[in-house]
Amino acid sequence: MVDLLIQGGSVVDGTGAPARQADVAVQDGRIVAVGQGLGAASRVVDARGLLVTPGFVDIHTHYDGQATWDAFLTPSCWHGVTTAVFGNCGVGFAPVRPGASDFLINLMEGVEDIPGTVLAEGIDWCWETFPEYLDALGRRQYVMDIGAQLPHAALRCYAMGDRGADHQARPTEAELALMGTLAEQALRAGALGITTSRTTKHRARDGRYTPSLSAAEPELFAIAGALRRAGRGVLEVNSDFGEGDFEILRAAAEVAGRPMSLLLLQVDNAPDLWRRTLDQIHAARRAGLDVTGQVGAKSIGVLFGLETSRNPFENHPAWAPLAPLAPRARYERLRDDAAMRQRLVQERPGDALTRWFDAAFARTFAMAPALDYEPAPEHSLAARARRAGTTAWALALDALLADDGKGLLLHPFENYSGGDFSVVQQMLADSATVMGLGDAGAHVGLICDGAGPTFLLKHWARDRSRGPKLPLELLVKKQTLDTAAVYGLHDRSVLAPGKRADINLIDFAALDLLPPQVVYDLPTGGRRLLQRARGYRHTFVAGTEVLRDDELTGQTPGRLVRG
Ligand SMILES: [Zn+2]
């Protein structure tokens, strides 16, 4: 008699094999059999009509801080994620010298839009070294498994002090040696990888570029050498891929002899650059290097609302009396004051941000009622305003005031140069890419893509109308076997005997996303955007049910995974 029998579901096992009707038997947290007639069980779950998939492995999250105060890692727990990897994009909180946490908070606030007050209050800073940080995580229990990576910015600032944030400064030989030693220690203690950022998009809150931006070859090679000596870990990179950058990173991967995971997305100022990068990834793979591209399930889109980090009216003189108000009072004032609304819509300040919004309305869309993440250009605020003989500003204000002031505008700013997801489709279909870029836990005041695992299945296998769909089996593989393989997590992510019983049961016909919402549930009442799902009937982590009918059960079987 086994602990759990999942009976009669449509099994999509994570390998890309065709879905098949089968039962899944679980004993002591592991899958013991997949097939028919598997015998008796203490608990039988009727999965007829449901998809049975491995739990999702989300390798691109930013729970570095949240994992020190939140056992449930929302929103990922609502989207079938059973393993979350953080420490991405070169930012995080260890190692840190005593008293030096302010800069790392400043950096995380600027780069990933996690409020500094939340981090300062929420994190207890009971570590200095990365191994001590891992130990702090290892003492806690979670709804899912977690894995942490060593962020280059923290490493650099630990080794170089204040000079670490100075882009003119170069590390001395002694500092390079220290970085290498600490990186090797972190990997040996269980860091799943080392991450770095080479993008000008990443700035600290004080405006300075992220410390690793200007790291030269000797420094990257010092890190790569640590990966080689440790014989474990992944090099994860967020780069703008300026001239020569791929070659430097490829050389680092050669030194490391370890997998390299590169963020891959389309940017407007070089809309074909991602293709060149993908070609370079394929060339590196043909040469025997283990390089993958991390791609998104959709555009990278920012959300503007009355309560988000940005809104189109924030620099308007008439907005000044609204800014200090509590959200509800702000909405009511706007709703009741027609003269103020008229002023906001008709007078246009000449500042750069307002001009930016004016241009951005050509690619900005009201989210309600359809929650359409692949909207056609003719639905933009600018296009609708032209047809209606009004202004995009008037439509924007109406949209923000909808739903009692909870209305949102979507501005897709990456992966959307062509006005649809055709590049996303090509990225997802490519053999050298895996799912990533969800940034769960980050950008909490502007972006809400932690729901990516749900969107990937729902949009690409079921709902898409503006182009080809993708096979469900491929999509599941992209965020289970493929993502787990990047990090060598071979004990999970496939429904097969011997693997961890991380399992989702999904009502695929009913699978849906709820509208993103602004909530104030972070430490100190900090604000964030959250998005929930419908259709997850059960999620099991190591055989323990953590989610039932889209609600947490309160169980926390997840632990820190050490590399
Ligand atoms: Zn990131």
User: DSSP string covering 349-369, please?
Assistant: --SHHHHHHHHHGGG-EE-TT
Ligand 1 mean position to 437 CA, how many Å? 6
Ligand 1 mean position to 238 CA, how many Å? 8
Q: Is 546 in contact with 73 (CB distance < 8 Å)?
A: no
Ligand 1 mean position to 436 CA, how many Å? 9
Q: Please report the pLDDT score of residue 106 as a whole number.
A: 86
Ligand 1 mean position to 195 CA, how many Å? 10
Residues flanking ion ligand 1, Cβ below 5 Å: 88-89, 439
Ligand 1 mean position to 59 CA, how many Å? 10
Ligand 1 mean position to 560 CA, how many Å? 20
Q: Is 198 in contact with 212 (CB distance < 8 Å)?
A: yes
| Spatial separation of the C-alpha atoms in residues 223 and 253, rounded to whole Å | 10
Q: Is 87 in contact with 148 (CB distance < 8 Å)?
A: yes
Overall pTM > 0.85: yes
CA atoms within 13 A on the CB side of 527: 15
DSSP secondary structure string for all residues of 406-457: T-EEEEEEES-TTSSSHHHHHHHHSTTEEE----BTSSTTT---TTHHHHHH
> Which residues sit opposite 196 in a β-bridge?
237
Run means of pLDDT, 10 residues per run, the chain, 563 residues: 97 98 98 96 98 98 94 97 96 93 86 83 92 97 98 95 87 96 98 93 83 88 97 96 93 98 96 97 98 97 93 94 93 96 95 95 93 96 98 97 96 96 98 92 84 97 98 98 97 98 98 94 89 97 98 98 94
Q: Is 41 in contact with 540 (CB distance < 8 Å)?
A: no
Q: Please report the pLDDT score of residue 108 as a whole number.
A: 85
Q: Please report the pLDDT score of residue 558 as a whole number.
A: 98
| CA distances, 13 to each of 320, 440, 486, 497 (Å) | 55, 24, 18, 11
Ligand 1 mean position to 354 CA, how many Å? 27
- Strands 544-548 and 551-552 come out as antiparallel
Ligand 1 mean position to 60 CA, how many Å? 6
CA atoms within 13 A on the CB side of 547: 34
| CA distances, 17 to each of 427, 442, 470, 483 (Å) | 20, 33, 14, 16
Ligand 1 mean position to 107 CA, how many Å? 13
Q: Please report the pLDDT score of residue 155 as a whole number.
A: 96
Q: Please report the pLDDT score of residue 121 as a whole number.
A: 85
Ligand 1 mean position to 353 CA, how many Å? 24
Q: Please report the pLDDT score of residue 112 as a whole number.
A: 78
Ligand 1 mean position to 10 CA, how many Å? 33
Ligand 1 mean position to 197 CA, how many Å? 9
